Amino acid sequence: MPVQFFALLVLTYHSALVLSDTISDIIARARADGIDIEHQPWSSAAFDAINALQTNHTTEPPGLGNATKIDVHVHAVPRFYFDIMPVKPSDEPWTVSRQFEHMASLGIAHSILSLPWPGASVYAGNQTAARALARITNEYLAEVVRLHPKRFSFMAVTPLPFADAALREVQYALDTLGAIAIGLFSNHEGHYLGDPILDPFFAGVNSSNLTSKIVFIHPALPTCPFPVHNDGNVEFYFDTATALMGLTLSKSLQNFTSIKYILSHGGGATPSIIDRMFIHAAPEFKSESVDIYRKRVWYDSAGATYPRQIQGLLAYDIPKTQLLYGSDFPFNVGPYIEAAQAVADADFLTDEEKLGVFSGNSLVLFPELSKD
């Protein structure tokens, strides 16, 4: 046996025996829920990442002292997850220190973290792997929040399209770990929101006593991608609109009345398809649906959404109180400062309305953040 291989075996065996109390507790809770997080390709790296959050505690920069913005669109991508992503939208993983630098540069006081696409579906079709990955990423995000509660909150990662497992994980993430919203994608392994296979999940969330019923919808790669175009620049916008159309025409929006939604990137291509979506619908169905867009759907500013795209939404009398700020760090396809400045320069918003976009509207949607 080569000496190097033997040394690796010894090191692996030793590492498996030395578990922090935090990791031991995480493993125990996962075992109790029938989830195996100990024997995954990423297990050691994930445990190390969680431990590192504690041992390498990051001090926030003094520039955050006067920050006021609330960022609802931030992707936390720890190294262990970055390494297994099938498509890497950046050159390096996310870290708390990088996030703090970003927040200080833009005056962001609080960031709501979520996992980017493909979420827990790295191993498509594998429910066991999806449950494990959803659990460990939720635990990682919860640890970031525990260490920096004034600066971070997080959205639950779900193992959809496995509806029953996803509902159980959401309940754990919200009720046990303290997530403040649920992160979903426009499609989960090709099942777009509104697909009947996802109905048990939405019905369960709608009828539950969960501490939050806010669903953040981020685009996924389309199931039939067009290689001519850049997915992040173009196809993501259409996939978001497809998801809203699915929720609308399936009547999920109308039937699950206790769920609120945040559409990323200002709703994507939604303003362009609203009228066409209802060409063959009864007038009252269109009226009811658009009324929901005005009352139970919020729209973040991530990307090049201001000033033109967002005015397409406002043309449908979407209240400006439904507009939120999102930076999309670290994946924004454009400059972050310019995107925030476009909101500040919007001549169709009053100063009070701009303050609403940057923080006030989020505080209404997430009143727990005002306690910070």
User: Tell me, what's the pLDDT at 238?
Assistant: 85
User: Tell me, what's the pLDDT at 372?
Assistant: 60
Of 261, 115, 90, which Cα lies nearest the Cα of 188?
Answer: 115
User: For residue range 195-204, what is the model confidence (pLDDT) as tens digits?
Assistant: 999 999 999 9
Total-model pTM: 0.92
User: For residue range 135-147, what is the model confidence (pLDDT) as tens digits?
Assistant: 999 999 999 999 9
User: Which residue did the predictor score with more confidence, 3 or 256?
Assistant: 256
Contacts of 283 (CB under 8 A, 6+ apart): none
DSSP string covering 222-289, please?
-SS--TTS-IIIIIHHHHHHHHHHHHHHTTHHHH-TT-EEEESGGGTTHHHHHHHHTTTS-HHHHHHH
Lowest mean pLDDT among 13-27, 179-193, 210-224: 13-27
Task: Write out the H or E segment, with its range, that includes residue 310.
Answer: helix 308-314
Query: In Å, how far from its chain's centre is CA 13?
Result: 35
Beta partners for residue 216, in sequence order:
183, 262
Q: What are phi and psi of 40, to 5 degrees?
A: -105, 160
Q: What is the CATH number of domain 64-371?
A: 3.20.20.140
Mean pLDDT of 80-104: 93
User: For residue range 15-42, what is the model confidence (pLDDT) as tens digits?
Assistant: 444 689 999 999 999 999 999 999 999 9
Of 38, 118, 56, 110, which Cα lies nearest the Cα of 81?
Answer: 118
What average pLDDT is seen over the chain?
Answer: 91
User: Tell me, what's the pLDDT at 9?
Assistant: 39
User: For residue range 224-248, what is the model confidence (pLDDT) as tens digits?
Assistant: 655 545 555 667 778 899 999 999 9
Q: What's 179's DSSP letter?
A: -
